[in-house]
Chains A and B, each alone.
Chain A
Amino acid sequence: MKAALRVDHGGFVLDIELAVEPGQVLALLGPNGAGKSTALAAIAGLVPSVGTIELAGRTLDAVPVERRRVGYVFQDYLLFPHLTVLDNVAFGATKAVALEWLERLGIADLAGSRPAQLSGGQAQRVALARALATSPDLLLLDEPLAALDVTVRDEVRSSLRGFLRDYAGPTIVVTHDFEDVAALADEVVVIEAGRVTQRGQVRGVVREPASPWVARLVRDWAEDD
């Protein structure tokens, strides 16, 4: 997946170039309001943008959301409250495929539950299963751990890492937490106020942070470890 986009972000114009290969996880890291989620929404076609997006041999610029084949896991998951877990996952797939994903993610026993009955970690898995069941060419995760209680975040993060390793397509994860970057990502792009301030492998960013904000984030992460 390659994208070169300009997106109106209210106060400023987000100007960003991204590239991520199948099987790779790219983290979009940045402070709140930097434009990371807007970039994700633009790739999915949820907000208007100027530029080009190439995905699996297709140019997505004029392709509407429903035909982009982009799986999206929202920050608060947005599971349909009127549907069971199985029907949520089967929304964009057959029931057989949905059941298969529920089993792969270890939540088949929740098939008949309603979203309101799920814990944060369970809801996240259901949202992931729902996105993956549509066989997307690209998987987008918007702050996938932010809605979770701190006490379960480490456990959910580690299981998420396992699931993402199994996914063969390219993945982009938006986060403001370096712990997520270190655990989930192969490469990282740092966005601050709509501009890319650093890009490269996670190890490189840890060694040589390019901005005071990243340096502080890396230092705090290293101290916590």
Chain B
Amino acid sequence: MSSAVVVKLPEAMNAKNARRLGRELKTKLGGNSPFVVLDLSHMKSIDVSGVEGLLRCMSEVAKQDGALQLSGLSPEAATLLELTRLDKLMQKFPGFSIETPAFEMAPETIAEEVEADAVQLPVVA
């Protein structure tokens, strides 16, 4: 059974949270071709360090030949991703379908691994 990592980004994506994201992902992204879901529903601000943190996250996923997609994209987050051009970079990743069970996250945790019942990669012609 394949699993995905749901990364719930905090309200402020700054240097401190970017470092935390990096540490969490190192422990969570163990296998080949990880599936990572970035949950942006709480993200309201980002600074240059936060952008760098997300770029490192994407770089790590790409190195492991993984897939990345966004969820809970708030209008604020969409605006910030568009401003920093991260949206275009994220579109380069293959998407996937995943059914995640509802769960409560501890506020300190950024990343959580989720067992998925079905993970489908888009068929590439």
A and B held together in a complex: no
Residues on A close to B: CB < 8 A?
A: none
